């Protein structure tokens, strides 16, 4: 078998094993769509789903809010945002446009990160707000959702008469799929609203899993929040393994998102290939910026890893663990079981407990080795994880843990894959 490329940062690591040492390589299917990216987006905007064209909606509006994702998402905004803006102002050149970065509870992006994502022209020409979920002075309450959760959103929504969002659709380990309604919750929601949506109870729900939307309490509440917010139009894209746009879906947030994830699931669902050792990449930059994001790849691998087996995560982790609270919770117990018990008992009630909960849950069944050159070994081990400098060392560690040199299942683009569950 030729070397297997595993995305790592902005480059690759290569797994070189004989055929007899590979159980199976699980990949999302190739799209083989040859249209130019701008053509894909223009056609999507010209053919909205369950909605008039954005140009017609915006024709008599005064101020439009455009919600976009932050630096942790590979949304190709340099391409999409100019096309969205051109569509919006085509019949209304006087339309005022404000862009808001839907950070949820992520850190504030730097100016360099904004320029890298949007380009200097967008950053310098338009008013850009970076959402801060903790700043109550810039939040407004829209009311109670059916769950009893209070919906607090960025107050900018009161100052606009048109709300539009862009995003990309991929499997999401608790919300089913990213995109659509997630631009609102958690995107521009307040801290308390996000915490309630991401509660330990919701995280433990059997339907809060990748590729599942039906009876998923996290997804259901996100949809309700999007409807209450007045989100009127979205553009969502699907990206291939090279992060190139291969499909676009515009229109009403619910119908366009549904069309998008229905399209994607034909390409990303794979049969499990159970193994004692599973090697997974977190799909490279920006999704492998830190261990926090790496939990997504681990979650995919856990669905095809035998209990007591080993997950090897390939992730650059340029930002280390990424979130202080996440790390502090992971080292708060003498075992993953103890960490999990604390989270489920609401011992913490703090940001990032959901990621710690999922990681601790994985660690109760599997050992996890991270291949990275940007992490401290002692810190990693305190968090109940293991660290290896390269794939060869990681495999040798895994063989010792399992006690056998068994064939390995490999998932090169982890977060893009949904392992079918039966």
Could you tell me if 67 and 103 lie in one domain? yes
Average pLDDT over residues 55-70: 97
From residue 228, alpha-carbon distances to 25, 129, 131, 168, 207 in Å are: 43, 21, 18, 22, 24
Average pLDDT over residues 101-109: 91
Average pLDDT over residues 33-42: 94
Could you tell me if 219 and 303 lie in one domain? no
Average pLDDT over residues 130-150: 97
Is 31 contained in some domain? Answer: no
Q: What is the pLDDT of residue 391?
A: 98
Evaluate if residue 1 carries a pLDDT over 80.
no
* Contact by Cβ (8 Å): 15, 391: yes
Residue after which a domain boundary falls, among 219, 249, 267: 267
Q: What is the pLDDT of residues 349-372, one digit of tens each?
A: 888 899 999 999 999 999 999 999
Could you tell me if 284 and 389 lie in one domain? yes
Could you tell me if 134 and 184 lie in one domain? yes
Could you tell me if 103 and 173 lie in one domain? yes
Query: C-alpha angle 272/1/299, rounded to 5°?
Result: 30
Is 63 contained in some domain? Answer: yes
Given 106, 198, 366, 384, the catalytic residue: 106
Average pLDDT over residues 170-185: 96
Q: What is the pLDDT of residue 71?
A: 85
Q: What is the pLDDT of residue 229?
A: 98
Residue after which a domain boundary falls, among 250, 267, 284: 267
* 106 part of the active site: yes
Residue after which a domain boundary falls, among 267, 290, 311: 267
Query: How many angstroms separate the CA atoms of 102 and 79, rounded?
Result: 18
Query: How many angstroms separate the CA atoms of 392 and 279, rounded?
Result: 12
Q: What is the pLDDT of residues 319-338, one digit of tens each?
A: 999 989 999 999 999 999 99
Average pLDDT over residues 53-66: 98
Average pLDDT over residues 291-315: 97
Q: What is the pLDDT of residues 109-135, one digit of tens each?
A: 999 999 999 999 999 999 999 999 999
Is 340 contained in some domain? Answer: yes
Q: What is the pLDDT of residue 93?
A: 98
Strand, helix or coil at 373?
coil
Could you tell me if 131 and 233 lie in one domain? yes
Could you tell me if 325 and 251 lie in one domain? no
Is 376 contained in some domain? Answer: yes
Query: How many angstroms separate the CA atoms of 411 and 337, rounded?
Result: 27
Q: What is the CATH number of the domain that holds 341?
A: 3.90.226.30
Could you tell me if 84 and 14 lie in one domain? no
Average pLDDT over residues 254-276: 97
Confidence class of residue 72 from pLDDT cuts 50, 70 and 90?
confident
Q: What is the pLDDT of residue 398?
A: 98
Query: Angle between the 291-302 and 353-363 helix axes, to the nearest 10 degrees?
Result: 40
Average pLDDT over residues 290-312: 97
Could you tell me if 135 and 262 lie in one domain? yes
* 318 part of the active site: no
Q: What is the pLDDT of residue 74?
A: 83
Evaluate if residue 273 carries a pLDDT over 90.
yes
Given 172, 323, 366, 384, the catalytic residue: 172
Q: What is the CATH number of the domain that holds 254?
A: 3.40.50.11440
> How many structural domains comprise the chain?
2
Could you tell me if 336 and 206 lie in one domain? no
Could you tell me if 10 and 113 lie in one domain? no
Could you tell me if 340 and 263 lie in one domain? no
CA-based end-to-end distance of the chain:
30
Domain that includes residue 324, residue range = 4-26+273-419
């Amino acid at each position: 078998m030729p070397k297997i490329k595993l995305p790592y940062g902005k480059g690759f690591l290569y797994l070189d094993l004989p055929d007899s040492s590979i159980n199976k390589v699980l990949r999302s299917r190739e799209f083989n769509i040859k249209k130019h990216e701008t053509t894909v987006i223009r056609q999507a905007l010209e053919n909205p789903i369950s909605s008039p064209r954005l140009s017609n909606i915006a024709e008599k509006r005064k101020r439009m809010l455009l919600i976009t994702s932050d630096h942790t998402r590979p949304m190709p905004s340099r391409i999409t945002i100019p096309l969205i803006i051109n569509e919006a102002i085509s019949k209304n050149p006087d339309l005022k446009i404000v862009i808001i970065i839907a950070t949820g509870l992520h850190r504030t992006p730097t100016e360099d990160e904004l320029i890298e994502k949007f380009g200097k022209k967008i950053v310098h020409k338009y008013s850009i707000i970076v959402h801060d979920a903790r700043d109550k002075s810039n939040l407004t309450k829209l009311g109670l959702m059916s769950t009893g959760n209070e919906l607090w959103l960025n107050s900018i929504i009161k100052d606009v008469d048109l709300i539009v969002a862009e995003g990309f659709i991929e499997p999401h380990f608790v919300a089913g799929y990213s995109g659509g309604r997630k631009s609102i919750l958690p995107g521009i929601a307040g801290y308390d609203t996000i915490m309630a949506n991401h509660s330990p109870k919701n995280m433990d729900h059997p339907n809060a899993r990748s590729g599942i939307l039906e009876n998923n309490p996290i997804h259901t509440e996100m949809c309700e929040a999007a409807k209450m917010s007045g989100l009127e139009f979205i553009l969502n894209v699907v990206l291939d393994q090279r992060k190139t746009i291969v499909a676009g879906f515009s229109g009403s947030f619910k119908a366009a998102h549904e069309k998008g994830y229905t399209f994607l699931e034909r390409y990303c669902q794979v049969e499990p290939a159970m193994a004692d050792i599973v090697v997974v990449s977190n799909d490279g930059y920006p999704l492998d910026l830190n261990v926090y994001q790496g939990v997504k790849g681990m979650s995919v691998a856990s669905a095809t890893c035998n209990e007591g087996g080993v997950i090897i995560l390939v992730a650059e982790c340029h930002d280390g663990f990424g979130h202080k609270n996440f790390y502090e919770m992971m080292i708060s117990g003498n075992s993953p079981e103890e960490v999990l018990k604390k989270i489920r008992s609401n011992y913490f009630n703090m940001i990032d407990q959901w990621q710690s909960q999922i990681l601790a849950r994985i660690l109760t069944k599997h050992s996890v080795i991270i291949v990275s050159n940007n992490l401290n070994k002692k810190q990693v081990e305190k968090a109940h994880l293991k660290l290896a400098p390269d794939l060869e060392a990681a495999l040798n560690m895994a063989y010792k843990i399992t006690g056998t040199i068994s064939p390995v299942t490999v998932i090169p683009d982890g977060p893009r894959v949904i392992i079918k569950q039966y």
